[in-house]
């Protein structure tokens, strides 16, 4: 029991540490507002009781006016301070939603690549935000409970200070029967027992409601994800042409309607919530009725005067609410832990790959180095997580700086997987990859990544300026950007742009944004690879949509630009890469042949000869 409580408490504490790292200001503001909020009602109760007692005791008018003026002054000051702080809290509350979104975006950008390729990762994030947006579960609930917790703790302290005499004062005289019972310690024990029962019932019922809500949210998450997908699709201008040309309206509407959030989930939650609330209300009513009868009986017996009666009835009720609230808060935080654990599982996924510590040697010519790097795959095998079959098996290959390596083969032969391992998006299942004789896992991850420029088949450009797309930075060298664009064959198009490299791509955020063609996008992607000036440049079928002749022309031109760098060209079309020094032929996850074009094409028993002549027949007249 204790270990379970300790585990729940540790999860809550970690949640607040996460909240503090996301937004330090919000917690402070909310705690301060809670303290201000609790001062006003208790000082009013205390001073009101003194005022009433003063009237009953016929104190001086000056003293009575002093009590009344003090009540008004304190409430006025507290009201002004509360309004000022509430403005800060309101702004911080609104910013919190954005801060959480930015935090998760930051986690995504640092997350290990294999997790991003896993659909379950995206489903987990959808569940996290589904729970948050539906009822504030997760980090948002922690922010809401800060104020409630501080308010309740302060209320308990003030209530105890003001009402402890209620249970210690004895009515004067001798009593029998029920009056004797009221004057005895047994009545206090019964009241405390009822208080514990009230807290226990409230805690248990809150847990039941949370269990129902969590179950309904989990059922809803996958359905709502499909709903959001269709919503984004019909609002994306890039898909608008397809929808109209192929008259996909009916297809999308039917698919969409079948996945609209069904209202039964909310009906179930409300039904259970109403049932549990009725029980909780009954228990609370019995508790409060007993307390008021106890206070009234003691006052009737002469244990205290009318002023104290007003004070006790006010503070005892607040004490019960505060104690119940404390346990309810912990109950809600405990129930919220199931959502926090999902968040922690998601966040912790970002750091599972060993990052390494060794610096990568600075060998670029511009830094006075010899530019001499050597990469070796040594008996490397790999299978994707949750897959039973190998994507690569026993791959061994070595290449040095300045070489031109072509990686060719049919679709699904393992070419792109080879590049993912080279760039350390994944680590090998077996074997090792070496940079200058050292396992790449031992190098600092970011430094190792810095020696590669890759243009993937599905490369992405963003709705930023042209210069920022090329430099992948807010600030950049304008002349270098222009030079790289010119070398990539984008110079003529650049001269047509009125704002030059400051031109925004696409119209998502700028009505003057420029829509670019697929071929122009490829040139910008090539310029981006050049701007990074990395010693290894990889083209992973970025021209797959072009015909083989056009693809070969682009590769040949790019080959001239890269100079002394190592260039790796990935293609399933052999004609595009015949200029390369070395060609590695992949088939079923293995390198089945390696050599120059002239050497491989004459081997009639080899895979390269088979593929070459199978493809060549479509391009001969």
Which CATH number covers residue 598?
3.40.50.300
CB atoms within 10 A of CB 498: 8
Question: Above 90 in pLDDT, residue 247?
Answer: no
Question: Does residue 62 lie within any of the structural domains?
Answer: yes
Last residue of a domain, one of 351, 385, 418: 351
Q: Which residue has the higher pLDDT, 363 or 399?
A: 399
Query: Model confidence over 263-303: pLDDT tens digits?
Result: 555 566 666 667 667 776 777 777 777 777 877 877 777 77
Residues 373 and 319 in one domain: no
Residues 266 and 379 in one domain: no
Last residue of a domain, one of 351, 378, 406: 351
Residues 381 and 419 in one domain: yes
Strand arrangement of the beta sheet that strand 582-587 belongs to? 452-456, 536-540, 566-571, 404-408, 582-587, 590-595
Question: Above 60 in pLDDT, residue 259?
Answer: no
Question: Would you state the pLDDT for residue 457?
Answer: 81
Question: Does residue 130 lie within any of the structural domains?
Answer: yes
Give the model's confidence band at 251: pLDDT under 50 very low, under 70 low, under 90 confident, else very high. low
Residues 294 and 321 in one domain: yes
Query: Model confidence over 480-535: pLDDT tens digits?
Result: 999 999 888 888 889 988 889 998 998 888 788 888 888 888 889 888 988 988 88
Question: Does residue 496 lie within any of the structural domains?
Answer: no
Question: Would you state the pLDDT for residue 404?
Answer: 87
Question: Would you state the pLDDT for residue 289?
Answer: 79
Q: Determine the Cα–Cα distance for residues 340 and 218; give it in Å rounded to an integer.
A: 14
Question: Would you state the pLDDT for residue 359?
Answer: 85
Output the average pLDDT for the chain: 81
Residues 280 and 374 in one domain: no
Q: Determine the Cα–Cα distance for residues 340 and 9; give it in Å rounded to an integer.
A: 12
Whole-number Cα distances in Å, 81 to 34, 76, 77, 84, 151: 11, 9, 6, 5, 16
Question: Would you state the pLDDT for residue 276?
Answer: 67
Domain that holds residue 40: 2-351
Residues 291 and 384 in one domain: no
Question: Does residue 564 lie within any of the structural domains?
Answer: yes
Residues 345 and 202 in one domain: yes
Question: Would you state the pLDDT for residue 433?
Answer: 94
Question: Would you state the pLDDT for residue 238?
Answer: 61
Q: Determine the Cα–Cα distance for residues 114 and 447; give it in Å rounded to an integer.
A: 20
Q: Determine the Cα–Cα distance for residues 251 and 254; give it in Å rounded to an integer.
A: 5
Last residue of a domain, one of 351, 381, 402: 351
Question: Above 90 in pLDDT, residue 580?
Answer: no
Residues 134 and 271 in one domain: yes
Residues 140 and 206 in one domain: yes
Using the structure block, give the residue that is written with the tokens 């991003």.
116
Question: Does residue 489 lie within any of the structural domains?
Answer: no
Which CATH number covers residue 116?
1.20.1560.10
Using the structure block, give the residue that is written with the tokens 């009515």.
171
Query: Model confidence over 18-71: pLDDT tens digits?
Result: 988 888 888 888 888 998 888 888 888 888 888 888 888 888 888 888 888 888
Q: Which residues contact 125 (CB under 8 A, 6 or more apart)?
A: 104, 346
Residues 282 and 371 in one domain: no
Residues 378 and 335 in one domain: no
Question: Does residue 326 lie within any of the structural domains?
Answer: yes
Length of the chain: 621
Question: Does residue 470 lie within any of the structural domains?
Answer: no
Residue 581 contacts residue 405 (beta carbons within 8 Å): yes
Number of domains in the chain: 2
Greatest mean pLDDT among 145-149, 226-230, 274-278: 145-149
Residue 170 dihedral angles phi and psi, to the nearest 5°: -110, 140
Q: Determine the Cα–Cα distance for residues 437 and 378; give it in Å rounded to an integer.
A: 11
Question: Would you state the pLDDT for residue 44?
Answer: 86
Query: Model confidence over 343-394: pLDDT tens digits?
Result: 998 888 866 777 888 888 754 434 444 456 788 999 999 998 878 899 999 9
Question: Does residue 621 lie within any of the structural domains?
Answer: no
Residues 416 and 273 in one domain: no
DSSP 476: -
Q: Kindly state the average pLDDT of the residues 241-246.
A: 65
């Amino acid at each position: 029991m204790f270990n379970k409580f300790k585990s729940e408490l540790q999860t809550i504490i970690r949640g607040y540490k996460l909240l503090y790292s996301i937004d330090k200001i919000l917690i402070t503001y909310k705690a301060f507002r809670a303290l201000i909020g609790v001062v006003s009602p208790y000082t009013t109760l205390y001073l009101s009781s003194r005022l009433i007692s003063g009237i009953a005791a016929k104190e001086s008018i000056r003293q009575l006016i002093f009590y009344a003026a003090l009540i008004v002054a304190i409430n006025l000051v507290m009201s002004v301070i509360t309004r000022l702080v509430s403005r800060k809290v309101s702004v911080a509350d609104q910013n919190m939603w954005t801060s959480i979104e930015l935090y998760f975006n930051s986690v995504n950008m640092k997350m290990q690549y294999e997790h991003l390729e896993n659909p379950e990762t995206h489903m987990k994030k959808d569940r996290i935000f589904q729970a948050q947006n539906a009822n504030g579960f997760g980090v948002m609930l922690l922010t809401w409970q800060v104020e409630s917790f501080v308010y309740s703790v302060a209320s308990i302290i003030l209530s105890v200070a003001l009402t402890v005499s209620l249970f210690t004062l004895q009515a004067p005289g001798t009593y029998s029967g029920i009056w004797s019972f009221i004057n005895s310690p047994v009545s206090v024990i019964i009241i405390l027992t009822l208080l514990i029962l009230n807290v226990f019932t409230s805690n248990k019922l809150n847990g039941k409601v949370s269990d129902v809500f969590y179950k309904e949210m989990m059922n809803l998450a996958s359905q709502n994800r499909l709903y959001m997908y269709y919503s984004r699709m019909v609002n994306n201008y890039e898909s608008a042409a397809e929808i109209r040309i192929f008259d996909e309206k009916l297809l999308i509407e039917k698919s969409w309607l079948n996945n609209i959030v069904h209202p039964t989930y909310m009906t179930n939650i409300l039904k259970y919530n109403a049932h549990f609330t009725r029980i909780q209300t009954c228990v609370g009513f019995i508790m409060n009725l007993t307390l008021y009868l106890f206070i009234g009986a003691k006052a009737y017996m002469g244990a205290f005067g009318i002023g104290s009666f007003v004070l006790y009835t006010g503070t005892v009720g607040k004490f019960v609410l505060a104690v119940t609230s404390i346990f309810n808060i912990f109950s809600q935080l405990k129930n919220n832990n199931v959502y926090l654990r999902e968040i922690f599982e998601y966040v912790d996924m970002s750091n599972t790959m060993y990052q390494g510590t060794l610096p990568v040697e600075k060998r670029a010519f511009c830094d006075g180095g010899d530019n001499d790097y050597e990469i070796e795959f040594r008996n490397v095998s790999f299978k994707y997580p949750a897959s039973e079959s190998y994507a690569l098996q026993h791959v061994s290959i070595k290449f040095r700086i300045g070489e031109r390596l072509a990686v060719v083969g049919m679709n699904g032969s393992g070419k792109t997987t080879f590049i993912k391992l080279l760039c350390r998006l994944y680590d090998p299942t077996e074997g090792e990859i070496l940079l200058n004789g050292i396992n790449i896992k031992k190098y600092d991850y970011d430094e190792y990544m810095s020696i590669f420029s890759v243009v993937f088949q599905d490369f992405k450009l963003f709705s930023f300026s042209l210069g920022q797309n090329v430099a992948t930075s807010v600030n950049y060298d304008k002349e270098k950007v222009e030079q790289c664009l010119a070398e990539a064959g984008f110079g003529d198009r650049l001269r047509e742009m009125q704002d030059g490299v400051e031109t925004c791509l696409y119209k998502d955020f700028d009505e003057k944004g420029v829509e670019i063609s697929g071929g122009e996008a490829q040139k910008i992607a090539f310029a981006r690879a050049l701007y990074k000036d990395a010693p290894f440049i990889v083209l992973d079928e970025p021209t797959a949509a072009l015909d083989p002749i056009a693809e070969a022309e682009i590769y040949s031109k790019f080959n001239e630009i890269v100079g002394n760098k190592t260039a790796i060209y990935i293609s399933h079309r052999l004609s595009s890469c015949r200029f390369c020094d070395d060609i590695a032929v992949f088939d079923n996850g293995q390198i089945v042949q390696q050599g120059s074009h002239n050497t491989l094409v004459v081997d009639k028993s080899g895979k390269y000869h088979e593929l070459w002549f199978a493809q060549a027949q479509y391009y001969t007249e």
